[in-house]
Amino acid sequence: MTTVQNLYEEYGKYTYHLCLKLTRNKEEAEDLMQDVWVKIVRYEGKIEKVDKMKAWITTICMNTFRDRYRKNVRRSKYVMNQPDTLDVPILDLVPSDTLTPGETIEKEDMQQIIQQKIGELDGIYRKTIELFYVSQYSLIEIADEMKVSIGTVKSRLFRAKKYLRELMQKDELLTDYVVQI
């Protein structure tokens, strides 16, 4: 059985040198390498299914590097000249409509957290949220299902979202994701 520790022992130096080649900066290479290994740990359950481990790790490393560069480009709000130290063509770094692996992981994490927080709501609010957002029922269908008026459904939906926001704001792990109002 392959563990992350075994992978690190076998591919740690390779990963560091690849990160160093991409960033040409020791501190950035170390940061990038840490991000790469965080992703590998997240995918620990899928390691056994990987046929070509070095290629898999290289792909994670390259994608993580691209993700970091794209975030920097987005933060600057405009693309300047390509840095001399960049080994990747600038066109490969232009944001696309598809989610990056990092964004996909973040989205999946947020979906799980939101589902957990919905589960913490009182039954009537949980059911209203699930019918409206998960099952895609209309307000009329929810009113019929719950045998209440449309106005009651609207107010329950409003309160459910308010309570859900409050639950998420109280969770310290979510402070970066929840907009404080």
pLDDT in tens, 100-150: 677 777 777 777 877 888 888 899 999 998 888 878 888 899 999 999 999
Arithmetic mean of pLDDT over the chain: 79
Grade residue 25 by pLDDT with cuts at 50, 70 and 90: confident
124 within 8 A of 174, measured Cβ to Cβ: no
What is the model's pLDDT at position 78?
Answer: 47
39 within 8 A of 65, measured Cβ to Cβ: no
Using the predicted structure, report yes or no on whether residue 29 has a pLDDT greater than 70: yes
pLDDT in tens, 72-112: 665 554 444 545 555 555 555 555 566 667 777 777 777 78
What is the model's pLDDT at position 87?
Answer: 54
Closest C-alpha to 114, from 42, 39, 171: 171
What is the model's pLDDT at position 34?
Answer: 93
Q: What are phi and psi of 87, to 5 degrees?
A: -90, 0
Task: Tell me how far apart the alpha carbons of residues 157 and 110 are, in angstroms, rounded to a whole number.
Answer: 20
What is the model's pLDDT at position 104?
Answer: 76
Task: Tell me how far apart the alpha carbons of residues 150 and 87 are, in angstroms, rounded to a whole number.
Answer: 58
Grade residue 154 by pLDDT with cuts at 50, 70 and 90: very high
pLDDT in tens, 46-63: 888 888 888 889 888 888
Grade residue 181 by pLDDT with cuts at 50, 70 and 90: very low
What is the model's pLDDT at position 130?
Answer: 87
